Each structure stands twice: as C-alpha cells, then as structure tokens.
Structure 1
Amino acid sequence: MARKIGSRYTAHQILGRGSAGTVWLGEGPDGPVAVKLLREDLASDQELVGRFVQERSALLGLDHPHVVSVRDLVVDGNDLALVMDLVRGTDLRTRLDRERRLAPEAAVAIVADVADALAAAHAAGVVHRDVKPENVLLDMQGPLGPGGSHPALLTDFGVAKLIDSPRRAPSGAPGARASATTTRIIGTPDYLAPEIVEGLPPRAAVDIYALATVLYELLAGFTPFGGGHPGAVLRRHVTETVVPLPGIPDELWQLMVQCLAKAPASRLRASELSLRLRDLLPLLAGMPPLDVDEPDEPEPEQSSAEPAPEAESPRRRGVVPLVPGSATDSNRDTHTSMRVPGPDELAGGALGTARVPRPAGGHRPGSARHRAETARKRRLALTAGAVALAAALGVGTWLATSGDEPPPQDTKHSTPAKP
C-alpha cells in the first residue's frame, strides 16, 4: 500500500527491513528513489531529529560515483526519512552469502571502489562509521570491472552517527550525571576499530580498518576477529593480531596488515588505499578464490560487557539487532549497542582468542572439533589394534592345536601298498 513521505515523495513497496528502519521503493519529482524510513521511536526523539537536521548539508553534499547519494532528508510528523538514489542491484552481503568467497581480483576491485567513496567522504569531513558488506551495493546495470565485478557503491552514510549519541537526562533529574558519563558503542562488532572499542572518538581511520576487515572477509569467507560472544569479538580487536591467509600474495597481505594496524596513524588514507589496490589488480588476474575453511567456533567464554540481543544469524556472527527482541533480516541494517569494555575486560586470556584460518578439510589444533577428531581417530586405532590382536591370537591357537592331529592324506597322489 502506497504512503506519502512528506509532500514530495510516495513510498510504494518495501524493499527491506532493518533495525534502524524500513527501506521503500519510492517515487519523487525526478523519478524512482529509495526511501529509508527510520523507526517511529527514533522520529519521536527530538534530540536525534536535531542531529538529523544538522547532518543534512553534509549528507546532501556527498556526490561521488561510488556513493549512494542522499537526495533529501524528510522530517514530517512521525516520519523521519532519508531519500536516496535507487540502485538496481544487490548488496555485497547477499553476494558473499551466495558465493562464500570471492576471487581476489574481484574482491580487490570492489574494495577499491569503496575506498574511492570513503576518500570523497573523508575529504568532506564525513566519517561513515559502519562500513560492512551490508552497506555496499552492487550496481548490476553498471559496466563490469576487473574480475567481472559490478560497480560498488557505499550507502548509509550518517546513520550510525545519527543513532550514536548518549541520551542526556534533564538537568537535575535522577541519573543525569550517570547518563552524561556513560559511553556506548554503536556499530557491528566484527568491523569495529580498536580505538572505538577503547572509547576514543571515531576518525577517518576507523573506516579504513572496517574496509580492510571487509576485504579479509571477501577473500576468506569470514572476518579476522569475529565469532562467539560480542564482548569477545571486541576484545580480539584490541588484543589480537590478524592471522595470515594461506595463498594470498604477499604484497596484498602487507597492505591489509597495514590497514588493520591497531594504531590509527599507521593505517593508510582512503585515497592511498584505493591507488595501492588498483596497482595490485594485474597481479591478481585469474587467481581463483582462496582454498581455506572457516575456523572452528571459539570456546564459549564469559564477558562482562553488556551483550546485544541473542537473535543472531549463524552465518553472520556479531551482526545483531539494535532493538531488543528484533531479529535480523534481509536488509541487514543492524548494529549492536553495548558499553565500552573496561581495561580488565580487554586484557585477553593467556591462550589468546585469535581466529586461525585452517586448510580446507582440517580443524584448528586445540579446538573442540580437533579434539573430537583426534579422539575418534584414537578410538579407530584402538579398535583396529584389538581386531589385529584377536586375529593374531586366533592364528596362534590354530597352530597350537593343529600339531596334535595327523597330517591329511592326499588320496589322489598316494602310492598303493604292496601285498
């Protein structure tokens, strides 16, 4: 059923639902558009509406071939909406779910497009803060690029920033002081830069870290620090180093390591990353997807960091709804909201928690699956040994008893006795 969005737009059908709102296929004065209608509880938050209006000029000013442009921001009664360009295609998460891993050439070409988009945004003073496959759209009507990749466009600029702000209690109200000092994290755990986890303000470098994580995921089929409890994921970002991917060219790996550095100043700028990635494309031409399997699930661990709701998709660990009780869906516009862990929570364990890629068909040493497989092989070996021992004992028994019997007579070749 069609509904009016402000005075200039009409929303005709739902394209997807997410934790922040609903995306509609709409119509405006200049033709088809995508309308992201934010949740009513967000629209009723006057403080958020104020930030929404403040971000208007910055968001409307982002004009780049690899950015899904925001055409308008609508505040009308209970409606709070972003009107965006309509991209005829799919999101990168959908492609990744379908193919599991991409060939290096296609993965690097897509990430280079996104780096171009970030370079334009950063030059305009805008930090995305939620770079992930769900927020990368592939234009299926655009020309094919290296490795058969479709043009990639980055969307949802400003959404995380609009939502991410501590609510201030009225002056003198109970809890006002606590509210002002409470620091929370808004984002998707698998892609959060260490400085965000430590409570520092997000700068342009957080987008580079997230984009390098996306590149790792496109190549491997899993993120370097994801898996398990969201609190454990946040801790890995701070305490663990990324594990090399087998079969990846060293030049590409060193570039990824630099962009996944714990120190923001050590990472490349978006424009530098784009140039370096495009320089590597000839080296990657024709390479097949990497042959690695996803690491085994980490052992369950407790974290005092406040978790997000438990409704998670098994294939997208760490991607959880912002709203308690809501489930993730095809739109995957999802975040987690949790307090910043304390220093003791980020200290890590003695054994570490890094996710180690393993060769196809194998299990990570020390993992639950590896221990189960080792136990199974031990049982098989014991069973085989018992069978061999039983067979040996059986032969020995036959030899021992056969000595008491006369040898059989061969009547066919025997010589008759003389009379």
Structure 2
Amino acid sequence: MARKIGSRYTAHQILGRGSAGTVWLGEGPDGPVAVKLLREDLASDQELVGRFVQERSALLRLEHPHVVSVRDLVVDGNDLALVMDLVRGTDLRTRLDRERRLAPEAAVAIVADVADALAAAHAAGVVHRDVKPENVLLDMQGPLGPGGAHPALLTDFGVAKLIDSPRRASAGRASAPTTRIIGTPDYLAPEIVEGLPPRAAVDIYALATVLYELLAGFTPFGGGHPGAVLRRHVTETVVPLPGIPDELWQLIVQCLAKAPASRLRASELSVRLRDLLPLLAGMPPLDVDEPDDAEPEPDPADDPAAASAGAGAEPVRRRGVVPLVPGSATDSNRDTHTSMRVPGPDELAGGALGTARVPRPAGGHRPGSARHRAEAARKRRLVLSVSAVALAAAVGLGTWLMTADEPAPPQDNKQSVPHTP
C-alpha cells in the first residue's frame, strides 16, 4: 500500500526493516529512491528531530562512489525520513548468511571499498559509529571487482549519532552525563565500552571486525550475553586465523588494537588492503570451524546453585539480543543495537565469560567455550572416579600383601609339667 512521505515522495513497498526504522522503495521527482522511515518514537522527539535537521547539511554533502548518498530529509507530522539513493542489490549480511564466509580476495575488496567511504566521511567530519554487514550494500548492477566482488556502499550515516544523542532531562531535574552504549555489541570499539567519546578510530575497529567476520564466518569477540561481548572487547586478545598471509593478519591486528591511536586511518587501510589483493588472488575461503554459540545447560554437579534452583527454574538464555527499545522485537536473529550502561572499571577488570571466540578444531569444541568446559569437567570427574577406585584397590591390595607376608606368631613348645606338692 502506497503512502505519502512529505509532499515530494511516495513509498510503495517495504524493502527491509532495521533497528532504527523501515526502508521503503519510493518514488521522487528524480525517479526511484530508498526511503528510510525512522521509528515513531524517534520522530516524536522534537528536540531529537531538531538535532537531526542540524546534521542535514553534513549528510547531504557527503558524496562518494561508495557512500549511499542522502538526497533529502523529510519531517512531516509523525514522519521523520531519510531519502537516499536506491541501490539495486543486497546487503553484506545477506550474502554472508548465504555463503557463510567469503574468499579472502573478495572480502578484502569489499572492505577496501568501505574504507574508501569512511575516509571520505572522516574527512568531512562525520563518524559512522555503526559499521556492520547490515549497513554495507552490494550493488549487483555494478562492475565486478577482485574476486568477483560487487561494489560495496556504506549506508546509514547519521542514524547512530541520532539515536545516541542525550535526551532532554525531565522538568526540574539536572541532566545526567550520558552513560549509555548505543551500537552493535560485536563491533563496538573498546573505548566506547569504557565510556569515551567515539572518534574516527571506532569505525576502523568495526570495519576490521567485519573483515575478520567475512574471513572466518564469525566475529572475534562475539557470542554469549552482550555484556560478556562488551567485556571481551576490552580484555581479550584477538585469536589468529589460520591460512591467511601474515601481512593481512598483521593489518587486522593493528586495526583491532585496543588503543585508538594505534589503528590505521581509513585512507591508509584502503591503500594497504588494495596492495594485498594480488597476494590473495585465487585463494579459497578459509577452512575454519564455527565456534560454539550455544551454551549447554549447567551440570548440577558443577553448579550447586543451579541444582538448588529446582527443576521448575526458568532456563538461562545464554545468547540473546538486546533490542534498542525495551520490549520491542528485534530485526534479525543477530545481535543488533543494544542500549546499556557503561560497565565500571571493576567489572571490566573481571575478565570475560569464557574467552574470545577461538576457532575450534574439527569435531571438537573451541577452547574456553561452555561445552569445552563442561566436557573438561566431565573428564575430571571421570579421572577422579577412576583414581579413587584405583586408590581403593591399591590400598586393599597393599593390606592383603602385608597380611600375607607377616610371619606367623611363634608357637609355645613348652610342655606342661605336673605340679608336685
């Protein structure tokens, strides 16, 4: 069903849904467009709308071959919409879900395109703040690049900043400092987790995470509760990927550095990635097993508290999505936007639940995973049981040998002499 967006645009059909709104196929004075209609709770916040209108000039002047350009901003009643270029294709998440992982040459070519887009944005003073596969579009009508990769375009500039802006304090109350985290847990840079303001380096960290995911099929610090994921970004070291050139690996490590100043700039990253393309030509996708995402139910023998909870206790959800708005449905089966408080230093120092997502050996469980720990616990119990049986057998055998080797007590050979009165 068609609906009017302002006076110049008509939205015809829904192309997709995201955590910030709904994308429609629309028509404008210059032809087909994509219209991102933001959520009603965002559109009804007049202060927030005012701030977004102030960002309009920066978004409109952000033009680059690898950026999905914003053509217009519509504020009409309860409608707040971004009118953008229409890209005929799909998003990178859809391709990744279909292929599981990409050949290194294609993955690097796509990420180099996105790095070019970020370089242009950062030069214009714009930080994306939510780089992830869902926000990378592949132009299926564009020329094929290295590894058969379609041109990649980065979209959704400005939306993360819109959502993350501090809201108006209640009447008669002073404004509190912002202590929320807005973003996608798997791709959040450590400095955001620690409450520092997001700079251009956060986009580099997120893009390096995307590259790791394209190569491995999973993110380096994802899995489990979002809080555990956030801690891993601060406390864990990225696990190496076997089978890729060392030059590429060192590039990923540098861009995933905990210190923002240690990461490359977007323009540098793009050049370095394109220099590596000849080295990756013809290389097949990596043969890396997925880590264990699902957590097993706790063994009562390992967790007395779980045993005392009783059979009627509600099962613990080990991996879940925290929606941007409490009580709202999420837009995919992946972790999307999360809004939570900044953890304190003592919590960050406590380490993560488990370890980083180590690629597990074929047929086994990844080291540090819950399944690996449960299996190790079962093996320990088995070893202890066998040891106890062996010890008991050894003690019994030793006692029998000692008894068998002990000399018999001497017999009294004296004969009784009759007493003579």
TM-score class normalised by the smaller sequence: 0.7 to 0.9
The answer to whether the 8 Å contact 2:185/2:335 transfers is no
* C-alpha distance in structure 1 between counterparts of 2:248 and 2:69, whole Å: 30
* C-alpha distance in structure 1 between counterparts of 2:212 and 2:88, whole Å: 26
Pick which of 384-393 and 356-365 moved more.
384-393
The answer to whether the 8 Å contact 1:134/1:332 transfers is no
* C-alpha distance in structure 2 between counterparts of 1:159 and 1:143, whole Å: 29
* C-alpha distance in structure 1 between counterparts of 2:420 and 2:100, whole Å: 89
Deviation at 1:328, TM superposition (A): 2.5
* C-alpha distance in structure 2 between counterparts of 1:41 and 1:242, whole Å: 38
Deviation at 1:356, TM superposition (A): 1.4
Question: SS in structure 2 opposite 1:142?
Answer: coil
Calculate the TM-score normalised by the size of structure 1: 0.82
* C-alpha distance in structure 2 between counterparts of 1:90 and 1:347, whole Å: 40
The answer to whether the 8 Å contact 1:12/1:25 transfers is yes
The answer to whether the 8 Å contact 2:224/2:318 transfers is no
The answer to whether the 8 Å contact 2:354/2:370 transfers is no
Check 1:208–1:306 CA distance in 2 against 1; reply closer, same or farther (3 A cut): farther
The answer to whether the 8 Å contact 1:136/1:152 transfers is yes
Deviation at 1:315, TM superposition (A): 14
Check 1:333–1:135 CA distance in 2 against 1; reply closer, same or farther (3 A cut): farther
Q: Does 2:277 align with 1:281?
A: yes
Question: SS in structure 2 opposite 1:316?
Answer: coil
1:239-278 to 2 correspondences below 5 Å: 239-278=235-274
* C-alpha distance in structure 2 between counterparts of 1:162 and 1:149, whole Å: 31
Q: Which runs of 5+ in 2 are unaligned?
A: none
Question: SS in structure 2 opposite 1:129?
Answer: coil
* C-alpha distance in structure 1 between counterparts of 2:373 and 2:390, whole Å: 26
* C-alpha distance in structure 1 between counterparts of 2:347 and 2:195, whole Å: 13
The answer to whether the 8 Å contact 1:220/1:290 transfers is yes
The answer to whether the 8 Å contact 1:35/1:83 transfers is yes
* C-alpha distance in structure 2 between counterparts of 1:391 and 1:303, whole Å: 34
Pick which of 255-264 and 328-337 moved more.
328-337
The answer to whether the 8 Å contact 1:240/1:352 transfers is no
Check 1:226–1:184 CA distance in 2 against 1; reply closer, same or farther (3 A cut): same
Pick which of 326-335 and 183-192 moved more.
326-335
Length, aligned pairs only = 414
The answer to whether the 8 Å contact 2:235/2:351 transfers is no
* C-alpha distance in structure 2 between counterparts of 1:98 and 1:410, whole Å: 94
Q: Deviations over 1:128-152 (max 9, x none)?
A: 0000000000001111111111100
Question: SS in structure 1 opposite 2:371?
Answer: helix
> Could you tell me the percent identity over the aligned residues?
91
Question: SS in structure 2 opposite 1:71?
Answer: strand
Deviation at 1:169, TM superposition (A): 1.6
Q: Deviations over 1:82-130 (max 9, x none)?
A: 0000001000000111111111000000000000000000000000000
Question: SS in structure 1 opposite 2:358?
Answer: coil
Deviation at 1:349, TM superposition (A): 3.4
* C-alpha distance in structure 2 between counterparts of 1:377 and 1:200, whole Å: 44
Calculate the TM-score normalised by the size of structure 2: 0.82
Question: SS in structure 2 opposite 1:251?
Answer: helix
The answer to whether the 8 Å contact 2:115/2:269 transfers is yes
Q: Which runs of 5+ in 1 are unaligned?
A: 173-177
Pick which of 282-291 and 206-215 moved more.
282-291
Deviation at 1:323, TM superposition (A): 1.7
Deviation at 1:167, TM superposition (A): 1.6
Check 1:143–1:399 CA distance in 2 against 1; reply closer, same or farther (3 A cut): farther
* C-alpha distance in structure 2 between counterparts of 1:101 and 1:196, whole Å: 28
Deviation at 1:277, TM superposition (A): 0.2
Check 1:406–1:295 CA distance in 2 against 1; reply closer, same or farther (3 A cut): same
